[in-house]
Structure 1
Amino acid sequence: MPSFDDYRRASGDRFNSASGPMTVQPVTGRPAPSNVMDGRFFGDETWSMLSAAMPMEANNAETAAKVAAVFFCVSIIAEAVGSLSLEFKDDNGPRNDFPLANVLAYEPNHLQTGAEFWAAMAFAGVLRGEAFAEPVAGFDGLEVWALNPLRTVASWGERSMHVDYASEQGPRRLLPQQLFWFTGIADGGLRPLVPWRQAKGAIDFQLALEVGARSFFRNDRRPSGIVTTDQKLTDASADRIAEGVRQWKRGGTPVFEQGLTYEAVGSSNTDAQLVELIRQRTLEMGRYWRIPRSMIGDEGGNAGNNEQDTRSFVNWALRPLTRRIEQAITVRMLPPDLRAQGVRARFNLDSMLRGDAATQWRNAVLARTASIMSVDEIRTGWFGLSALGEDWASDPRAALNSNRAADTTTGGETAPQDKVQ
């Protein structure tokens, strides 16, 4: 009767003996032990092909971005940055009277709009911790082209930096004065921390959950197991059992004989709490990129909570990133004469902080009555309307006309102090 070691050797196992590694020929007369589930779990050629499409470990940024929670966290920040309007201001108000303002805000190059360019740069920065672009002189003036992160290697020294870029024309080394870039948080040095590497353990856990769930459903939702019997099997019975195992792998329902019993050795998705684990790991991804719970989870909330979460998203996820980009534009893109005039780049986050329609109207009234904003500023900046063009509409300190038609002291006339001259 073959022993357990015989069966182990028959499966093609290599082991060390006193004479070194060796391979034992399979024992004839009995089938090699095979899991009644899916052999792809045990490294055969089918599972090897599937593992390339469903990696179990995040070894690069592209693999990390394939995790749904990671892609959501990174893309929602990037798309939000791309949706913001880029403005240039000095101490006296907006400054859009120089060509570079239009290039950076609307047309960085002839293939990308401003929204596309800044969303791509933000995606690279949020996922990898750094984003690089190269300003070049084009036929129509200055153009800014984002560098492909897959071809970019940044070398950070103690007080120096350069970028090796493998362009289609050949390798190039770019110095800081040739580049526009911004980075994420660092731990005291120039080299930024890489967000996806910081979250690698959680990402690998999420990948394992996804692969396990896919395999579970590919196996027709059947947990793995073994079949056992106390009876002696004939060769014919062994052949029929082997055929039953193959039928089981194909999704069929075999009928075992010789007193064979099936015993599950794996757990179902319900027993493993797969849904709860995926939800918990998704929330964990939100912590790495500071995404509020209501935005990444499936729990609903009331309007007040959602508005507060939006403010948290703007304050802790968007504002730190846009502040870095604003200063990078001001310092690395604007010429010295404009900086000397006090010109600064600014992303307008106000549109994301106004709340619903009723809140926007209420805030507009408060901003005007408190003499903080003029009527024209509210019309053009908040509601996208044209300016009135009147002197009083552009002055936030202009007196308001309350038009108290039911004033008892004047017999229903407008109060004299409120009449428009």
Structure 2
Amino acid sequence: MGFFSRKKNPKNSLSTSKNFFWGGSTSGTFVNENTAMQTAAVYACVRVISEAIASLPLHVYRYEDTGSKLLPGHSLYNILHNAPNPEMTSFVFRETLMSHLLLWGNAYAQIIRDGGGRVLALYPLLPNKTDVWRGPDGQIYYTYWRNTDESRPNEKSGGVTLSKDDVLHIPGLSFDGLVGYSPIALTKNAVGMAIATEDYGASFFANNANPGGILEHPGTLKNPDQIRSAWEMLYKGGNKAHRIAVLEEGLKFHPISVPPEEAQFLETRKFQLDEIARIFRIPPHMVGDLEKSSFSNIEQQSLEFVKYTLDPWVVRWEQTMNQSLLLPSEKASVYIKFNLDGLLRGDYATRMNGYAIGRQNGWLSANDIRRLENMNEITPEEGGDLYLVNGNMVKMADAGAAYTKQSSENKGGSGT
């Protein structure tokens, strides 16, 4: 059947409490979600996307005949927009879940409801301590494995099983549509190579940027390990550089010169930065690589980041929240939505030019524009809600009628 054979339980060894192949990589480094975050490129990519999702305005709306209406009085509005639980702000909650989603491929949060099914609070659950399984009744269940410090007083540690209605589960890329696969597990060789190059650089400079050497003795040594240890104790490390070596009994030191450029150390580190940015679909300039960025294309890259990187994650969040948090009676008329307009506005001159076109063609009022720019509105008495159109623009039929009328008037005038 193969490693990915179909099983009864929707467990995923790549993203739940067990790591894929126990974190081993071909580079020889141990890779899991925690060690990956010690790599600067992975940390930067996770931080960029998590903070971007956490900073987006998140609102609750209702469909109406004239459009969508914001519902600040809805019970979910305060939970999603301000504080999902007494211990976290909305920013911290979404940043935490998004980082889980990027590292483990799944984000889980326990849903606390009242007797009527309305959401009272949301608490994050660690993905590496959460298992997903299907019960005999065919329903999906979640088991969260608590530590002793997470248990209530006089309770033992162990698993707590929650039903599907009690968990907000946002899966990432998945083969079965139920549990997402960990990006770190699937790309462990690329991440492992980045960790290996960082370890090599650290050890290289810990050895005073000297790759090592050979101690030559004219005779046969009975204790080579003892001489090697004594030499390293005296001369290894940046704080012991430039000491004067004293060699006895005919010992000679031959340094081995292997510059990092010859081992393509810098090129490898640069390539791994691009490789990890590619995994998370991050423009390189957002993680500090400005080699291919300029004033002419960096704005376009930023807009592409919103369109191709953030927007798919936003859709995952919105559809899962609409499915899991709204009451069945609300799903036809109420929806939860992020606002991406602020990230897609472009520079000031481009926005002003767009507003001018909308204003002159009658589909934007002064107050529409001022609301988009977070400015105070103009009162209706002062014309803030008026929609204007250029007076020189008329319909083709009206233009022909006006020309015919003008011609008739001219002929009639010449005959009198």
Q: Is 1:268 the counterpart of 2:259 in the alignment?
A: yes
Q: 3-state DSSP class of the match of 1:271?
A: coil
Contact 1:322–1:347 (8 Å) recurs in 2: yes
Q: For 1:196-275, what aligned pairs fall within 5 Å after superposition?
A: 196-229=184-217, 231-232=218-219, 243-244=230-231, 246-249=233-236, 251=240, 252-257=243-248, 260-265=251-256, 267-275=258-266
* SS state at 1:134 partner: strand
Task: Say if 1:360 and 1:254 are closer, same or farther in 2 by CA, change over 3 A.
Answer: same
- Tell me the TM-score normalised to structure 1 length: 0.73
**1:245–1:254: 8 Å Cα contact kept in structure 2?**
no
Deviation at 1:141, TM superposition (A): 7.3
Distance across 2 between alignment mates of 1:240 and 1:79: 53
Q: For residues 70 and 141 of structure 1, do their structure 2 counterparts lie closer, same or farther at Cα, with a shift above 3 Å needed?
A: closer
Structure 1 residue 127, shift from structure 2 partner:
1.6
Letter in 2 for 1:132: Y
Does residue 1:165 correspond to 2:149, yes or no?
no
* Aligned amino acid, residue 312 of structure 2: P
- Alignment of 1:94 with 2:75, yes or no, is no
CA contact (8 A) 2:362 2:389 kept: no
**Which amino acid counterpart does residue 129 of structure 1 have in structure 2?**
G
Could you say what the CA RMSD is over the residues aligned between the two structures, in angstroms?
3.3
* Residues 241 and 256 in structure 1, CA contact (< 8 A), matched pair in contact too: no
The answer (yes or no) to whether the contact 2:174–2:180 under 8 Å persists in 1 is yes
Q: Give 2:109's aligned residue.
A: 133
Q: Which has the higher contact order (CA 8 A, sep 6+)?
A: 2
- Residues 351 and 235 from structure 1, CA distance in 2 versus in 1: closer, same or farther, beyond 3 angstroms? closer
Equivalenced residues, count: 344
Task: Specify whether residues 374 and 133 from structure 1 end up closer, same or farther in structure 2 by C-alpha distance, changes over 3 A only.
Answer: farther
How does the TM-score come out when normalised to structure 2? 0.73
Q: Aligned equivalents of 2:198 and 2:125: distance in 1?
A: 32
In the alignment, residue 94 of structure 1 is paired with which amino acid? Answer: K
Listed as ranges, the matches of 1:281-296 within 5 Å are 281-296=272-287
Within 5 Å, give how 1:54-65 maps onto structure 2: 57-65=29-37
Partner residue in 2 for 1:13: none
In structure 1, the residue matched to 2:373 is: 383
Fraction of identical pairs, as percent: 27
Q: Which residue among 329, 336, 341 is the counterpart of 1:345?
A: 336
Whole-angstrom distance in 2 between the partners of 1:240 and 1:68:
38
The residue aligned with 1:40 is none
Q: 1:58–1:203: 8 Å Cα contact kept in structure 2?
A: no
Task: State the shift of 1:85 in Å.
Answer: 0.4
2-structure distance, mates of 1:373, 1:310: 26
**Which one is further off, 110-119 or 257-266?**
257-266
Note if 1:314 corresponds to 2:306: yes
| Aligned partner of residue 57 in structure 1, secondary structure | coil
Unaligned ranges ≥5, structure 1:
1-54, 404-421
Residue among 388, 391, 406 paired with 1:399: 388
Shift of 1:240: 8.4
Return the offset for 1:76.
Answer: 0.4
Hey, what does 1:407 align to over in structure 2? none
Which residue of structure 1 lines up, in the alignment, with residue 48 of structure 2?
Answer: 76
Q: 1:121 aligns with which of 86, 97, 104?
A: 97
What secondary structure does 2:60 align onto?
strand
Distance 1:88 1:238 in 2: 70
User: Does residue 1:153 correspond to 2:131, yes or no?
Assistant: yes
Q: Which secondary structure does the structure 1 equivalent of 2:190 belong to?
A: helix
Tell me the secondary structure at the aligned position of residue 112 of structure 1.
Answer: coil
Determine the C-alpha separation between the residues in 2 that align with 1:236 and 1:182.
60
CA shift, 1:103, in A, is: 1.7
Alignment check: 8 A CA contact 2:59 2:80 kept: no
1:182 aligns with 2:182: no
CA contact (8 A) 1:86 1:346 kept: yes
- Cα deviation for residue 376 of structure 1 reads 2.5
Task: Please say if residues 129 and 185 of structure 1, whose CA atoms lie closer than 8 Å, have aligned partners that are also in contact.
Answer: yes
Cα distance, 1:399 vs structure 2:
1.6
Q: Match for 1:116: what amino acid?
A: V
Q: Counterparts of 2:230 and 2:85 in 1: how far apart (Å)?
A: 63
Shift of 1:187: 2.5
- The alpha-carbon distance between structure 1 residues 187 and 236, as it changes in their structure 2 partners (threshold 3 A), is closer
AA of the residue aligned to 1:388: I
Residues 273/145 of structure 1: CA separation in 2 closer, same or farther (3 Å cut) = same
Secondary structure in 1 aligned to 2:315?
helix
| Distance in 2 separating the partners of 1:182 and 1:237 | 58
Separation (CA, whole Å) in 2 of partners of 1:123 and 1:234: 55
